[in-house]
Structure 1
Amino acid sequence: MNKWFNVGKVVNTHGVRGEVRVISTTDFADERFRVGATLYLEHKDFKDKIELTVASHRQHKNFDLLTFEKYPNINDVIVFKGGILQVPEEQLSELADEEYYYHEIIGCNVVTEEGEELGKIKEILATGAKDVWVVQRKNGGKDLLLPYIEQVIKGVDIDEKKVVIHLMEGLE
């Protein structure tokens, strides 16, 4: 059974030539949405995923604009609105050391170098510069925002779902 990963959401059509507006949920938009790439659309109105081949990709404002082979017209793609674009696990690329997929980081327990458990990572904010890891506190306090920089993130163990951090002054 395939494991699927979301890479974007179709939020609207754009123009009349089959272009769709996508809000990207991937760090690798250029790779995921490159011409010739295969994506799968999951939509509540369709029983099965639809296999799509990217025909064009450009960025416009905060959106990725895509067209797909064999879908040249707005009437072909209007039904995709609200759908989620996905890739199967085997399409995930090998990452360099110190690089992680969001799904690997979300849910990790966060502990200080001293061993104090702080909470779990609940989301990642892509700020354009460095990602910020949002930690939901164990004690229910205000979320802790951790910049993904080596002064703060001291160790990541994906298998153990554990992140060791240096709690710098000002982070709390």
Structure 2
Amino acid sequence: MEKWFNVGKIVNTQGIKGEVRVISKTDFPEKRYKAGNVLFLFMPNSNTPVELTVKSHRTHKNFELLTFEGFNNINEVEKFRDGILKVPESQLGTLAEDEFYYHEIIGCLVSTTEGEEIGKIAEILSPGANDVWVVKGKGGKEVLIPYIHDVVKKVDVQEKIVIIEPMEGLLS
């Protein structure tokens, strides 16, 4: 059975020419939403996905704006609202060394090079220059770990382990 990965949610339409607003859940929006790529739309009350080919993509505020081939006006895409865009596992593709999919990182156990257990990665933020991993520690305390080479020393997605060398003040 094919495994599906969520890459975004259609939350509204934009304008009258068939553009939709998407809250992105993908690690690589510039690759995932490229014109010609195929996405699958899963609607809340249907088990059959709708195959959609991306016609155009642009970013506006906190949204990804997409149009799909064959859908040229607001009336045709209004029914897509609240739909989840997904891709099959076979479409994930290979990544460069030191690049990971969110689903591979979330849930990893984070420890220091000294062997101190920090917690598990619960969320990934993408504020700008580098990703920030939100680690839920003991007692529910959140620790923010920047994904930079100076801090993250080893990532083993098979074993679900991340080894970090904390900068001064990072864990206090």
Shorter-normalised TM-score: what interval? over 0.9
Could you tell me which residue of structure 2 aligns to residue 28 of structure 1? 28
Cα distance, 1:141 vs. partner?
4.4
Structure 2: stretches of 5+ with no match in the other structure = none
Q: 2:69 & 2:45 partners in 1: Cα distance?
A: 21
Percent identity over the alignment is 61
* 1:149-168 alignment, distance < 5 Å: 149-168=148-167
Cα distance, 1:45 vs. partner?
2.6
2:13 is aligned with what amino acid?
A: T
Could you tell me which residue of structure 2 aligns to residue 169 of structure 1? 168
1:57 is aligned with what amino acid?
A: H
CA deviations 1:130-153 (Å, max 9, x no partner) are: 10001000x214201000011111
Could you tell me which residue of structure 1 aligns to residue 67 of structure 2? 67
Cα distance, 1:22 vs. partner?
0.9
1:116 is aligned with what amino acid?
A: E
Could you tell me which residue of structure 1 aligns to residue 119 of structure 2? 119
Could you tell me which residue of structure 1 aligns to residue 145 of structure 2? 146
TM norm structure 2: 0.94
Q: 2:42 & 2:117 partners in 1: Cα distance?
A: 37
CA deviations 1:30-70 (Å, max 9, x no partner) are: 22111111000112032311111111212222221111112
What's the secondary structure of 1:104's corresponding residue?
A: helix
Alpha-carbon RMSD: 1.2
TM norm structure 1: 0.94
What is the aligned length? 171
Q: 1:74 & 1:45 partners in 2: Cα distance?
A: 21
Could you tell me which residue of structure 2 aligns to residue 131 of structure 1? 131
* 1:79-90 alignment, distance < 5 Å: 79-90=79-90
Could you tell me which residue of structure 1 aligns to residue 56 of structure 2? 56
2:116 is aligned with what amino acid?
A: E
Q: 1:60 & 1:38 partners in 2: Cα distance?
A: 21
Structure 1: stretches of 5+ with no match in the other structure = none
2:158 is aligned with what amino acid?
A: D
Q: 2:67 & 2:45 partners in 1: Cα distance?
A: 20
CA deviations 1:145-169 (Å, max 9, x no partner) are: 0000111111011110000111221
Pick closer, same or farther for the CA change 1:157–1:93 going to 2, 3 Å. same
